[in-house]
Amino acid sequence: MADKISKEARSRNMSLIQSKDTKPEMLVRKYLFNRGLRYRLHDKRLPGKPDLIFPKYKTAVFVNGCFWHRHGCRYTTTPKTNTDFWLDKFQKNVNRDIQNYEELDEAGWNVIVVWECDLKKDRREETLAELYDKITDSIK
Res 77: pLDDT: 95
Q: What's the mean per-residue pLDDT of the chain? A: 91
Q: Give the 3-state secondary structure of residue 53.
A: strand
Other CB atoms within a 10 A radius of the CB of residue 131 amount to 23
Task: Using the predicted structure, report yes or no on whether residue 16 has a pLDDT greater than 60.
Answer: no
Full 3-state SS string of 65-94 = CHHHHCCCCCCCCCCCCCHHHHHHHHHHHH
Q: How confident is the model at residue 21 (pLDDT cuts 50, 70, 90)?
A: confident
Give per-residue pLDDT as tens, 44-53.
999 999 999 9
Q: How confident is the model at residue 95 (pLDDT cuts 50, 70, 90)?
A: very high
Q: Where are the domains of the chain?
A: 25-136
CATH of domain 25-136: 3.40.960.10
Predicted TM-score (pTM) of the model is: 0.86
Give per-residue pLDDT as tens, 100-136.
999 999 999 999 999 999 999 999 999 999 999 999 9
Please report, for residues 20, 22, 54, 123, 132, the alpha-carbon distance to residue 29 in angstroms, rounded to integers and kept in the order given. Answer: 12, 10, 12, 16, 11
